[in-house]
Amino acid sequence: MSDKFDVVVIGSGPAGYVAAIRAAQLGLKTACIEKWKNTEGQGVNGGTCLNVGCIPSKALLDSSFKYHEAKEELGIHGISTKGVAMDIPAMLKRKNSIINQLTGGIAGLFKANGVTALYGTGKLLAGKKVELTDNDGAVTVIDADNVILASGSLPIAIPVAQLDGDLIVDSTGALEIGEVPKRLGVIGAGVIGLELGSVWNRLGSEVVLLEAMEDFLAIMDKGIAKESKKIFTKQGLDIRLGARVTGTEIKGKEVEVTYKAADGSEHKQTFDKLIVCVGRRAFTDGLLADDSGVQLDERGTVFVDDQCATNAPGVYAIGDLVRGPMLAHKGSEEGVMVAENIAGHKAQMNYDIVPNVIYTHPEVASVGQTEEQIKAAGEPYNVGTFPFSASGRAMAANDTQGMVKIIAHADTDRILGCHIVGPSAADLVQQVAIAMEFGSSAEDLGMTVFGHPTLSETVHEAALAVNGAAIHIPNRKRRK
């Protein structure tokens, strides 16, 4: 390939494709390389998120929730649903149809914005050259003024639970389970484990989650984590904390798992399927030539500065490949920031305000600092909470589990964090994220007019409660 590009992006997941589109919009000649292939062997964009991550898992979550709701929860509305059944192949077909629509949509966006889509494996060489091995095996070296690395992440494998693609699978394989297992084991009770466990629990599996850590959802605010565990346990998820898996053995059509409990005692549990969800690692395999000049940190991620520049001039890295939470939206915004900086703009990203969501039902969402982080920093603060059980809109929808928690600085009243477990938590927390981006105080949010009846009113009341002014619940005494 003789043409030289202003920007070459390696990877077309949420970080890479957004970076490529924004760069092209800014007038930069841009190419994007993607190695992913669909079941027909054709190159497709979207990376993990669209193909085997965020989107397909949410499709299964929504399908399974609708089934559970029809089977278990519509009676209270006076709706009879006798004989409700789940067609798993139809559910998977719908999921695959959504994937095809969205990955095809990226191809259309590339064309509309003038991004050159290249399919194959990209490897960074010295001097901002990129070696492309296309899907037919042909090798080409591309010259670039700037290179953006966006190769994403892979599920972490553990020696004690070797994948066999049938009985023991990772989060990717879990999206293709063709029938409801009677007994499902999940190693890891983090975001992915909870979401996949919820899918099959709703469909009728007996789900056991084995979590090595003794704290549930350690990254979340402890109050919200405690409330979430109570809700999930009531739903039927068997969450065992401090359970460290020490071995697995396939016996016929079953998997026997051995684990040590927090007290040191050893236990065995037999499952029909086992999902390994112990986290993800940056995907740098084959990405960097020895002389590329790009440095990895001690965790195996690409070392970058606040603007996502690596130590190699003209080379950037974004998304799951770099420090910070592995979140699609975080990678997308990094992609925009890098593209704009390459184009000569002065762009930056506020890493302090990146929402985090678990798409169970109810959803769990957070933005900003937890109460534990603020307390550890020695900052004075006030807390306001409001339960969904006091929301008229939540009552009308028969969806009243959970609460909203807002934390503000005791002296300035500036909002420091918001944590929610409840219906539509992902959307509600975004309202507070916007407020925080503009430096809002809890009083500012409390003075804002919210529509009635809405779930958003729970955010309004939590903000009022920070300063002891909630209307629809008794106020607790403010911190001194």
Shared domain for 254 and 305, answered yes or no, is no
Residue 182 maps to a domain: yes
- Same domain, yes or no: 151 and 37: yes
- The residue from 318, 342, 366 where one domain ends is 342
What's residue 480's pLDDT? Answer: 47
Does 313 fall in a domain? yes
Instruction: Give yes or no: residues 13 and 120 share one domain.
Output: yes
Length of the chain equals 480
Asked, for residue 478, whether it belongs to a domain, the answer is no
Q: Are residues 249 and 301 in the same domain?
A: no
Say what the pTM is: 0.96
Query: Which residue, of 292, 316, 342, is where some domain finishes?
Result: 342
Query: Which of 267, 345, 452, 472 is the catalytic position?
Result: 452
Please check whether residue 141 lies inside any domain of the structure.
Answer: yes
Catalytic residue check, 452: yes
Which residues form the domain of 450?
356-466
Does residue 220 share a domain with residue 114? no
**14 and 45 housed in the same domain:** yes
> Domain of 428: which CATH number?
3.30.390.30
Provide the residue-wise pLDDT of the chain in tens; the chain has 480 residues: 557 999 999 999 999 999 999 999 999 999 999 999 998 889 999 999 999 999 999 999 999 999 999 999 999 999 999 999 999 999 999 999 999 999 999 999 999 999 999 999 999 999 999 999 999 999 999 999 999 999 999 999 999 999 999 999 999 999 999 999 999 999 999 999 999 999 999 999 999 999 999 999 999 999 999 999 999 999 999 999 999 999 999 999 999 999 999 999 999 999 999 999 999 999 999 999 999 999 999 999 999 999 999 999 999 999 999 999 999 999 999 999 999 999 999 999 999 999 999 999 999 999 999 999 999 999 999 999 999 999 999 999 999 999 999 999 999 999 999 999 999 999 999 999 999 999 999 999 999 999 999 999 999 999 999 999 999 999 986 554
Rounded Cα gap, residues 278 and 285, in angstroms: 19
Are 199 and 312 part of one and the same domain?
A: no
- Among candidate residues 231, 249, 278, the one where a domain is terminated: 278
The Cα 228–Cα 234 span in angstroms is: 10
- The residues, ordered by sequence, that sit 6+ positions from 305 with a Cβ below 8 Å of its Cβ are none
Same domain, 260 and 291: no
Residue 476 domain flag: no
Q: Within this chain, do residues 371 and 300 fall inside the same structural domain, yes or no?
A: no
Phi/psi of residue 373, nearest 5 degrees? -65, -40
Q: 81 CB contacts (<8 Å, ≥6 apart)?
A: 70, 71, 74, 75
What single string gives the DSSP state of each residue in 47-68?
A: HHHHHHSHHHHHHHHHHHHHHH
Instruction: Say if residue 148 is in the same domain as residue 14.
Output: yes
Do the Cβ atoms of 6 and 28 come closer than 8 Å? yes
**How does DSSP classify residue 375?**
H
Strand partners, 422: 363
CATH number at residue 204: 3.50.50.60
Q: What is the total count of domains within the chain?
A: 3
DSSP string of 308-345, one letter each residue: -B-SSTTEEE-GGGSSS---HHHHHHHHHHHHHHHTT-
**pLDDT on residue 291:** 96
What is the C-alpha R_g of the chain?
A: 24
Residue 471 lies in a domain: no
Structural domain includes residue 472? no
pLDDT at position 1: 53
Peptide bond just before 159 cis, omega within 30 deg? no
CB 361 within 8 A of CB 401: no
Q: Do the domain assignments include residue 432?
A: yes
- Residues 363, 419, single domain; the answer is yes
Q: Are residues 172 and 33 in the same domain?
A: no
